[in-house]
Structure formats: structure tokens, C-alpha cells
Amino acid sequence: MAILKIARMGHPILRLKANPVDDPTAPAVRALVSDMQDTLADIGGIGLAAPQIHVSQRIVIFEVPALRVGVEEAIPLTILINPKIDLLGEETAFGWEACLSVPGLMGYVPRHDRIVYRGYDLSGKEIEREAGGFHARVVQHECDHLDGILYPMRMSDLSQLVFADEYRRHHPDTLEEAD
Ligand code: NI
């Protein structure tokens, strides 16, 4: 078990385009993903991308809790290697996001509402899912990390970039959050 240090905004590794993984079934990939899982479990976040733990490889992990019962379904811990996203339609929606690499802050970020994503798991099997809403938001946020993009770079209104504790103090009903 290893809990790894998280790179914060300003570290150059977060701005790189990460490298594709040659062999998703390689033992080194399994060990890396295991450390990512330990790190995410320790911090209690929703998702983590390999560049956030200083490894420039195209790997993300995430778990989507059931936020709105009956509206969105919980997604179990998912490991996605070499992910690709196809956008479905033009529709976008705004939602609050946070990021382990941007501690303390959250922002109101526009994302595509419906996507199809593909990637490989640790056994080399292809995963393909259609996603909407918060699930789609989490996947877009994590995959952006593989292209050197942090959520503030997706924001259209920087007046909505706030300290999470301060904002919540004044808006106690704020719902969604992705990291
Ligand atoms: Ni993030």
C-alpha cells in the first residue's frame, strides 16, 4: 500500500499531454493503479488521473457515488487506461467541480452533457459506456488531466471560481462536486 503525493496546479507535469500505455496488463501498470486507488481512498476523492501523482501516463480511476437517488446511478470504481471520449450532441451543462490538484477551490464548469467513453481495464478488456450528467462530468474532468487541462481552464466565468468552504458557508445547498 502506498499513498502518493498529489501534484498541485503549477507543477509542470499537470500541463503535459500524457503518454499512452503500451500494455494495460503489464505488472507495473497494475502496481501504479493500486497506488492510485490507495491514494484516492485515503483522500476520499471521486477520481484521480496518473499525472496527478507525477506519472505522465494515460490512466484515470474514478468512482461516482449515487448523488441523486432515482436520477443518477452510482458507478463502481472504474479503471480506464488510454481513454477516449466521443461527445454526443451539442448540449452542455454547468456543475460545480473541485480537484485534488487545486486544493480548497471549486468552480462552476460547463461540460458536455452526454458522452460515450472507451478505455481498457487492467485485464486488457475494452470498456465502453454511455454517460450523462455527473458521471459524464467526472470522466471529462479526469480525462482532461491526461491532456494537461485543469478545470479552471474550462471555465467561462471566473467569478464562479471560489474557495469551497467560503462558498458553502453562504450557499449551504450547493450540490455537485467532482474531483
Ligand atoms: Ni482533478
Catalytic (active site) residue 97: no
To which H or E segment does residue 140 belong? helix 133-145
Are the C-beta atoms of 83 and 143 separated by less than 8 Å?
yes
For 95-119, the DSSP string reads EEE--TTSTTEEEEEEEESEEEEEE
Centre of ligand 1 from the C-alpha of residue 173, in Å: 22
Q: Residue 173 has what pLDDT?
A: 76
Listed as ranges, residues in the chain with pLDDT below 70 are: 67-71, 175-179
Q: Residue 172 has what pLDDT?
A: 82
Centre of ligand 1 from the C-alpha of residue 126, in Å: 24
Centre of ligand 1 from the C-alpha of residue 18, in Å: 14
Centre of ligand 1 from the C-alpha of residue 148, in Å: 11
From the candidates 142, 166, 176, 177, give the one annotated as an active-site residue. Answer: 142
Q: Where are the beta strands (DSSP E) in the chain?
A: 47-49, 59-64, 75-87, 92-97, 105-112, 114-120, 126-132, 161-163
User: CA-CA distance, 25 to 14, in Å (whole number)?
Assistant: 25
pLDDT tens readout for residues 111-148 = 999 999 999 999 999 999 999 999 999 999 999 999 99
- Surrounding ion ligand 1 within 5 Å at CB are 99
Q: Residue 67 has what pLDDT?
A: 67
